[in-house]
Structure 1
Amino acid sequence: MPITPLHLGLGASCKGIGNQHFSFLIFSGVQMLMDIEPLLGIIFDWNTLHLYSHNLIGALLIGLFAIPIGKAMSEFCLYHLFKQIHWQITWRVATFSALTGSFSHIVLDGLMHADMYPFYPFSQTQFLLNLIPYSYIFYGCLFGFILGGILFLLHER
């Protein structure tokens, strides 16, 4: 399933720990950008779903692309939708959040997808696959989401 919410557990944990030093909105946006390729692959019935965007070079390019767009869109949402007038995302926070989102996506998907090659185009080795059982990843991300939410709420109090 493309655009899986599984990755958001890590983002919620980072937000809960980092609070204003991490943007969950930018992290979430990067997760969606990363999964455009698999979504198109499902629509157009491609043999490989995780090739160009799901490697270190693709993750870096998507992360860099997402920094200015994510910063602007997140600040717009924080101001207009959530009425957070005092909250501005610094370039440092935007960069850290976007790159954390793109590179963590590579690691998590590498543990689950056989057609994902982290070092493509230099190597088509998939060394992360089945390194950790899927249930550990799933429940770890679920626990991270819950823990991150609790920590975020504690920060907001």
Structure 2
Amino acid sequence: MKKILFVMLSFLVGTGAMAGEKDEYFTFNAGFLFNSTLNATLGYEHELTYGNAVELTAEIGNQWQRDPVCGKICKDVFWKGYYWDGGLLYKHCLKKFKNSNLRLRFGPEFGAYTGRYFFAVEGGLEYNYVFPSGVQFSLIQKNQVNFLHGDSFRNGLLIGLKIPF
């Protein structure tokens, strides 16, 4: 009788569960974007059903330029092209593999570039590999179109980690 009750209880508890559903992650990504830009992103990701996810991001970066006086990249002008922004990204799962997935990511962002505010739209691809511990390695191809200032396009590669809560 105990075995039958245990099997029934485990069946009822296990039927509504899906792997990866409603998991939450702290994300950190860093990399290079075109045109001469360093980028770092922090985020909170919440997984939805069927491998989809939503991420709330905060991003900082720096677009370096050559010093007009000396003609090369100097420490005096290196940090003059900074920017920061934040946004909400929806990540649609395109393909699930055994220990990884491929997602299409897109969403709006708002921020400031050297004191001037901008609105941006981000899109790109994200590949995640899940380690047995639950930590994920991510490789992100990022495309960002900015409006209301001169730094219109940013695209490049980021690598990062997702740490589960």
User: Do the structures match in fold with TM over 0.5?
Assistant: no
TM-score (norm 2): 0.28
TM-score (norm 1): 0.28
Q: Could you say which structure has the larger radius of gyration?
A: 2
* Structure (1/2) with the larger strand percentage: 2
* Structure (1/2) with the larger helix percentage: 1
Q: RCO (CA 8 Å, sep 6+): is it higher in 1 or 2?
A: 1
